[in-house]
Structure 1
Amino acid sequence: MADTAGAEKERDALRAAHLYYLQDLTMEAIATELHTSRSSVSRLLGYARDTGLVEIQVKSPLDRLSSLQERIRARHGVTAHVVPVPDSTAEVDRLERVAMSAARILGPFFDSNMTMGIAWGSTLSAVSRHLQEKVTHNSQIVQLNGASNARTTGIGYASEIMSRFGTAFGAYVQQFPVPAFFDDPRTKEVLWRERSIRRVLEIQKHMDIALFGLGSAYAEVPSHVYVGGYLDDDDFQQLGRSQVVGDVATVFYRADGSSEDIPMNARSSGPSLELLRKVSRRVCVVSGRSKLPALRGALAAGVMTDLIIDETTAHSLLED
């Protein structure tokens, strides 16, 4: 009985530490969320510090203590970082809280002499707003896919995200000023032979870490590629015929993780899933149950090593 009480206290302390140190919630807000008093929250945080659960950040014992994360690792072979968020939280707020935690978790992953690839989108835009400064040297950020479309250059949207990452890490930013999708695959083939484009493609091939969200036409918080003027009616019909469930950096895939013979991919400026799988660390940030079909497809494709996900969606992921 004492062991059970001790385990419950440790779990509550770890949850309170997540909310306080990674999500910047006040003790009053945490008390409301945990249905307890402010003084109890204070004692839980003190316990977390005294027992070594917390140093400067929430420590890795979360991985060891959380059966949820262990089950995700066992079933899908990825390291899960589960962010505690109440079921009742609105999807926009859920995304912000996951993005805030992702920004803190990401810091130790990236260091001097490293290259990080960034796929622009609604999720990464949210992450970029919460980055904390970490000085690195001889590091660079490379954009993974083009951002222009028939309505706009897309440069402002993508460059703002890239610039935030570059500023936070003191890294050189390499943008990729090409269309998100080409009208004709042959145009892409020709442009990909240009030296200025090949230089960016070579940088992408030598990434140490890739960071991305998952695009979905059915997400409650709209994925930018589906609502930003990048796809027309014919494109959506073509994706439907190809049984697409999501995309990574504007490269589409099916529920079984396959991406071959999807016509839109021949026009996409994003890196192939095969190239992504060669990157040593591949961090995917996902929020909301509406992303589950896209997430299951991405897991089947083997494109991630790390998954940052909200608690509700993580539980749903393990439901058959």
Structure 2
Amino acid sequence: MTLADELSNPDRTRDALTAAHLYYMQDLTMDAIAHELHTSRSSVSRLLSHARASGLVDIQIRSPLDAPSRLEKEILSRYKVTAHVVPVPDHASDVDRLERVALSVARILGQYFDSNMTMGVAWGSTMSAISRHVIPKQTHNSQIVQLNGAGNMRTTGIAYASEILRRFGDAFGAHVQQFPVPAFFDDPATKLALWRERNVSRLIDIQAHMDVALFGLGSPFSEVPSHVYAGGYLEEADYASLSESRVVGDVATVFFRADGSTDDIPLNLRGTGPDFTVLRRTPRRICVVSGSSKLESLRGALNAELITDLYVDEGTARALIASAS
């Protein structure tokens, strides 16, 4: 349900808010709430469910004793990054692991984004999964900006990227700024020329003043293929070039090595993602990772100091700490 759908039914939203306040803030039972609101207990249950699903109520569990909390403290200590470790069974597939982590991010993303803010969003498998579950939150004068182009030799990429951005825009009532350029130019000189055009430089300026950046990590080793590696964006010569440059992953199609460096990687000269200096200036940089196959990419992104907030499954968090030890 979109934000517009929620706003079109203000009576239900008001009743859900009242029921939530009575239940969570005043500790009334559902029977007592039903009596006060002159309705049934089952109706109260549905109102509370609606309050959680629509973002009126945000439930968080904090325990200093569980394994995720210990891992979060270790990651903060080692990497100076605020980690949010999502419990996922070790036997879970990478597809299920991604879905669980994405759902956890989607449910609390509204804590990071509000009115008069700009959020940059990269496209890809992880962002697509998050976008399907974002909890609606009303904002005003806010915008979502696409971080990198999505076109390739087979498609413009507009339909794929715009659908992801549209879901975020609908959830927050935000204006969407698309970036209708290829993911990679054939010639670096073409990119430099286009970057001087006023309509393109306007978008690049918006990216330079983001309040929040939301991105996953691309990895050539992931069991859930990153879209840039599986969507026809790279040719055989590109893979050879990345291997020669010892690339371990990418953020918004900007490639990096294990030490976080990006210099002298030829494909970056043709890519359309934001320079890492731009990302580092963004106050809140939320990275979402699932699957230990992305461990090398995660360590590279940490070495590049791209992350302020990390959402990661428990198994990958354990592997990160073990590799650091």
Shorter-chain TM range is 0.7 to 0.9
- How far off is 1:67 after superposition? 1.4
State the Cα deviation string for residues 196-231 of structure 1 (Å, max 9, x = none).
Answer: 001100100000000000001110000000010000
AA of the residue aligned to 2:102: A
- How far off is 1:106 after superposition? 1.3
> Gapped runs of 5+ residues in structure 2?
1-56
Alignment correspondent of 1:76: 79
Structure 2 SS opposite 1:148: coil
Alignment correspondent of 1:49: none
For 1:129 and 1:56, locate their aligned partners in 2 and report how far apart those are by CA, in whole Å: 18
Contact kept in structure 2, 1:63 and 1:69, CA below 8 Å: no
For 2:188 and 2:162, locate their aligned partners in 1 and report how far apart those are by CA, in whole Å: 25
Identify if the C-alpha distance between structure 1 residues 184 and 63 changes in structure 2 by more than 3 Å, giving closer, same or farther: farther
Alignment correspondent of 1:9: none
Structure 2 residue corresponding to 1:243, chosen from 232, 241, 246: 246
Structure 1 residue corresponding to 2:219, chosen from 216, 221, 232: 216
Structure 2 SS opposite 1:81: strand
- 2:186 is equivalent to residue 186 of structure 1: no
- 2:301 is equivalent to residue 311 of structure 1: no
For 2:282 and 2:305, locate their aligned partners in 1 and report how far apart those are by CA, in whole Å: 11
For 2:59 and 2:284, locate their aligned partners in 1 and report how far apart those are by CA, in whole Å: 21
- 2:128 is equivalent to residue 125 of structure 1: yes
AA of the residue aligned to 1:285: V
Alignment correspondent of 1:158: 161
For 1:317 and 1:67, locate their aligned partners in 2 and report how far apart those are by CA, in whole Å: 13
Alignment correspondent of 1:197: 200
For 2:282 and 2:64, locate their aligned partners in 1 and report how far apart those are by CA, in whole Å: 23
AA of the residue aligned to 1:57: I
For 1:220 and 1:204, locate their aligned partners in 2 and report how far apart those are by CA, in whole Å: 30
Alignment correspondent of 2:237: 234
State the Cα deviation string for residues 156-211 of structure 1 (Å, max 9, x = none).
Answer: 10000000000000000000000000000000000000000011001000000000
- 2:71 is equivalent to residue 57 of structure 1: no
Identify if the C-alpha distance between structure 1 residues 202 and 64 changes in structure 2 by more than 3 Å, giving closer, same or farther: farther
Alignment correspondent of 1:98: 101
> Gapped runs of 5+ residues in structure 1?
1-54
Contact kept in structure 2, 1:63 and 1:81, CA below 8 Å: no
Structure 1 SS opposite 2:322: coil
Alignment correspondent of 1:268: 271
For 2:281 and 2:237, locate their aligned partners in 1 and report how far apart those are by CA, in whole Å: 32
Contact kept in structure 1, 2:219 and 2:297, CA below 8 Å: yes
State the Cα deviation string for residues 124-177 of structure 1 (Å, max 9, x = none).
Answer: 000000101000000000000000011100001000000000000000000000
Alignment correspondent of 1:299: 302
For 2:108 and 2:265, locate their aligned partners in 1 and report how far apart those are by CA, in whole Å: 34
For 1:63 and 1:128, locate their aligned partners in 2 and report how far apart those are by CA, in whole Å: 30
1:38-49 → structure 2 map (5 Å cutoff): none
- How far off is 1:56 after superposition? 3.1
State the Cα deviation string for residues 241-271 of structure 1 (Å, max 9, x = none).
Answer: 0000000000000000001111110100000
Contact kept in structure 1, 2:145 and 2:177, CA below 8 Å: yes
Which structure would you say has the larger Rg? 2
TM-score of the aligned structures, taking structure 1 as reference length? 0.81
What is the aligned residue count? 265
1:270-285 → structure 2 map (5 Å cutoff): 270-285=273-288
- How far off is 1:105 after superposition? 2.4
Structure 1 SS opposite 2:310: strand
Identify if the C-alpha distance between structure 1 residues 283 and 193 changes in structure 2 by more than 3 Å, giving closer, same or farther: same
TM-score of the aligned structures, taking structure 2 as reference length? 0.80
Identity of aligned residues (%): 65
Structure 2 SS opposite 1:177: coil
AA of the residue aligned to 1:67: R
CA RMSD of aligned residues (A): 1.2
For 1:64 and 1:197, locate their aligned partners in 2 and report how far apart those are by CA, in whole Å: 50
Contact kept in structure 1, 2:289 and 2:312, CA below 8 Å: yes
Contact kept in structure 1, 2:58 and 2:108, CA below 8 Å: no
For 1:311 and 1:64, locate their aligned partners in 2 and report how far apart those are by CA, in whole Å: 15
Contact kept in structure 2, 1:64 and 1:70, CA below 8 Å: no
